[in-house]
Chains A and B, each alone.
Chain A
Amino acid sequence: DAGVIQSPRHEVTEMGQEVTLRCKPISGHDYLFWYRQTMMRGLELLIYFNNNVPIDDSGMPEDRFSAKMPNASFSTLKIQPSEPRDSAVYFCASRAGGIQYFGAGTRLSVL
């Protein structure tokens, strides 16, 4: 299996622009998680899905952030409009057998 696949690996955008991050979970995994990693706040859970349904979005920082999972093999995290403080590494993880498997992350820079 190729593991959890995230795209793009790097994203540089200007303040105010819309940003979409993409994730393909491991086939057969029924949970999907979005995390954000920053130096100041460490690893934070933003939202997670079970069988494509959002279960807990209490970690989503603001209404500018939204996440969808239209099917079992694809999820997006969207930021609109983006701000410099959104600069971070965003990870997607999928879960099976109680273990979360992480993608390589998307490094987002908002100028």
Chain B
Amino acid sequence: AQSVTQLGSHVSVSEGALVLLRCNYSSSVPPYLFWYVQYPNQGLQLLLKYTSAATLVKGINGFEAEFKKSETSFHLTKPSAHMSDAAEYFCAVSASVSGGYNKLIFGAGTRLAVHP
């Protein structure tokens, strides 16, 4: 079975500071990994995805994530936070021993606050 753990339900950073949101996964087969962002009263929007190609993945809005198999991690980073980055971020894993990648298992989410 697959699972995702997001360390830190709340993260607060200053505008212009580094953003680091942590995600660790568990999977018995090679996973696909995703980061989604949710703004208030909206649905989830894909930031980036890892599907076994390059381990460093670049996404929208200046975010990137690095797949580290040895650490079973897929942490999300952004060099310089902007006020508009304030939102909830979800890490998700997709894997299937039968070969399909249909189901997404989400972490509990990390709420990012950005202060001036």
Contacts and interface: CB of A to CB of B under 8 A. Distances in A.
Interface of A: 4, 31, 33, 42-43, 45, 48, 50, 55-56, 91, 93, 98-105
Say which size band chain B's interface belongs to. 20 to 34
B109 A103 contact: no
Chain A interface SS verdict (over half): strand
B43 A98 contact: no
Contacts of A4: 43
Nearest to A101: B46
Contacts of A50: 102
Given A98-B32, A98-B51, A99-B49, A42 B43 contact: no
Contact of A102 (B32, B43, B49): B43
Q: Determine the main DSSP class of B at the interface with A.
A: loop
A102 B36 CA distance: 10
B104 interface: yes
30 contacts: A31-B102, A33-B104, A42-B106, A42-B107, A42-B109, A43-B106, A43-B109, A45-B103, A45-B104, A45-B105, A48-B102, A55-B102, A56-B102, A56-B103, A93-B43, A98-B49, A98-B51, A98-B101, A99-B46, A99-B49, A100-B46, A100-B104, A102-B36, A102-B44, A102-B45, A103-B43, A104-B42, A104-B43, A105-B41, A105-B43
B105 to A, nearest CB: 8
A41 to B, nearest CB: 9
Interface string B30-66: 0010001000011111100101000000000000000
Given A102-B43, A102-B44, A43 B90 contact: yes
A91 B44 contact: yes
Interface in B49-103: 49, 51, 90, 101-103
